Structure 1
Amino acid sequence: MAPELIAQDYHSHAHASPTGRVALTYEDRFLRRKVLTLEDGRRLLVDLPKTTSLDHGGVLLTEQGEIAIEAKSEPLLEVTGPDLHRLAWHIGNRHTPCQIERDRLLIQRDHVIRDMLARIGATVAEVEEPFTPEGGAYGHGRTHGHDHSHSHGPHDHEH
C-alpha cells in the first residue's frame, strides 16, 4: 500500500494545528527514510535529507500540513537516590541516554547499568513511559541549541 503523505522536512516545534500524529519510541525517532503509520491509520513516507533525531513535540512537514511527533511509552528504568547528581554522572560516564528530572532519572533498560547503579546506592524501578533524554555533544535526545528563525511566508518571525 502506497503512503498517502510524504514528509521531506522537519521542525522541532509546531506552527499550526497538526493534521495527524505519530507516536515513536526514542530509537524510532532517529530516522531519514521510513514509512510510518499515523494514529488515524494513514501511511506517511518520511524522506529527510539526512538522519535526524525527531523531538517529542516536533513536526514533520507535508503538503497537507504538520504531523505531530509524540514520544511513545517504552520500557525504562527509573533511577532515584539521595545523591542524584552522582548517579547522573555515572550514567553519563557510560554514554547512556538519560532523561533528567528534578527527583529522578530515566534510562533505557539495561541490566549491566542497573546492577552498577544498585551497587552505588541507587533505587532502580522498571517503568513504562515516554522517553525524552537530554541532547548532548552528539545531538541525540532533546535539542536546545538550534536556530528558531525561519520563513513562514508573509508572517516571518523568530521563536
Structure 2
Amino acid sequence: MIIERVVANANEVSVDHLHKEKVYLASGDLLKRVQRVKTDHGRELGIRLTTERELHRGDILYMDDKNAIVVDVLSNDVLVIRPESLEVMGVIAHQIGNRHTPAQFDGDEMIVEYDYLIEEMLTRQQVAFSREERTLNEAFRPIGHSHD
C-alpha cells in the first residue's frame, strides 16, 4: 500500500471504535516525506506524501469502516535541562547553540538529544538536568548554518 496523504489526526477524529495498527517512527523520521515502514501487525507501507507536510504523532495514514493505521513516535534519549535562573538558561542556550544542537522547550525545561559532551558541560557547570526517555510531539530539526 502506498500512502500519499494523511487522512486526519486522531486528536481531531475518533478512531476508538476501529481496529488500529500503529506505525512507530523515530522522531527524525517524522520529517521524511518518502519512506518505507511496517505496522505493528507486520503490514508494509510506502509513504510518499504529495504535499510539503511533516508527519505528526496521531496522524491517520489509512482509515476505512473497520481499520485505521496511525502514526506513533518512539521515545528519544534526551537531556532535560532545568536551569535555576534566566541567566543560567541564557548561558547554557548560547553554549548549546554554538554546537548547532537543536533544542525544544517545554515550560521551564530545555530538551536536547542526548550527547555526552553536553552532559559533561552541564555537569561541569553544575546545571540541573536529567537524562530521560521521552516521547516528543515533534522532531528535532537539523539546523542549517553558515559562519560567513
TM-score under structure 1 length normalisation: 0.62
Moved more, 105-114 or 126-135: 126-135
Q: Runs of 5+ in structure 1 lacking a partner? A: 139-159
Aligned residues: 133
RMSD: 3.3
Shift in Å, 1:9? 0.5
Q: Distance in 1 between matches of 2:134 and 2:140?
A: 18
Partner of 1:110: 115
Deviations 1:80-106 (A, max 9, x none): 220264245654565433332234222
Asked which structure has the greater RCO (Cα within 8 Å, sep 6+), the reply is 2
Percentage of pairs with the same residue: 25
Partner of 1:153: none
Moved more, 82-91 or 21-30: 82-91
Q: Runs of 5+ in structure 2 lacking a partner? A: 144-148
Q: Distance in 2 between matches of 1:13 and 1:75?
A: 25
Partner of 2:32: 31
Deviations 1:23-54 (A, max 9, x none): 21111222122221112222221111256431
Q: Distance in 2 between matches of 1:7 and 1:117?
A: 43
Say whether 1:97 aligns with 2:102: yes
Whichever residue aligns with residue 106 of structure 1, its letter is I
Q: Distance in 2 between matches of 1:89 and 1:12?
A: 38
